[in-house]
């Protein structure tokens, strides 16, 4: 007969209780409703900032709990963090390109028609 510790771990990975998944799912639903509610309020330029902060929080919950990064070793966490650093680099380069386009002179080909 298997003892209690055999049930707590399966193939070397801890078993996450269903209660944890339900709580995270409810938090994700609540954050989705919060995103919708914030979209109905006019915060000016802060609408996108608040929406992105909520989205980042939701993404963190998914990565940590549903993708099991919270239970993984430090090497896996390092690679996950490296992926987000790479995403930040790509976003920074894209934003830099977008923000620097205003100083370019308007070419004769791209001028709007009459």
The predicted structure's pLDDT at residue 66? 87
The predicted structure's pLDDT at residue 100? 83
Q: Is the pTM of this model over 0.85?
A: no
Q: What mean pLDDT, rounded, does the chain reach?
A: 84
* 71-93 per-position pLDDT tens digit: 888 888 899 999 989 999 999 99
* 20-33 per-position pLDDT tens digit: 999 999 999 999 99
Identify the band that residue 101 occupies on the pLDDT scale cut at 50, 70 and 90: confident
What is the spatial distance between Cα 54 and Cα 36, in angstroms, rounded to a whole number? 11
């Amino acid at each position: 007969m298997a003892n209690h510790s055999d049930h707590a771990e399966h193939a070397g990975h801890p078993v996450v209780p269903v209660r944890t998944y339900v709580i995270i799912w409810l938090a994700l639903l609540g954050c989705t409703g919060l995103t919708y509610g914030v979209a109905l309020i006019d915060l000016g330029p802060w609408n996108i900032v608040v929406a992105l902060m909520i989205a980042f929080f939701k993404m963190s919950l998914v990565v940590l709990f549903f993708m099991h990064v919270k239970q993984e070793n430090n090497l896996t966490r390092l690679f996950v963090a490296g992926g987000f650093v790479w995403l930040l680099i790509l976003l920074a380069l894209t934003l830099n390109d977008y923000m620097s386009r205003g100083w370019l002179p308007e070419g004769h080909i791209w001028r709007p028609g009459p």
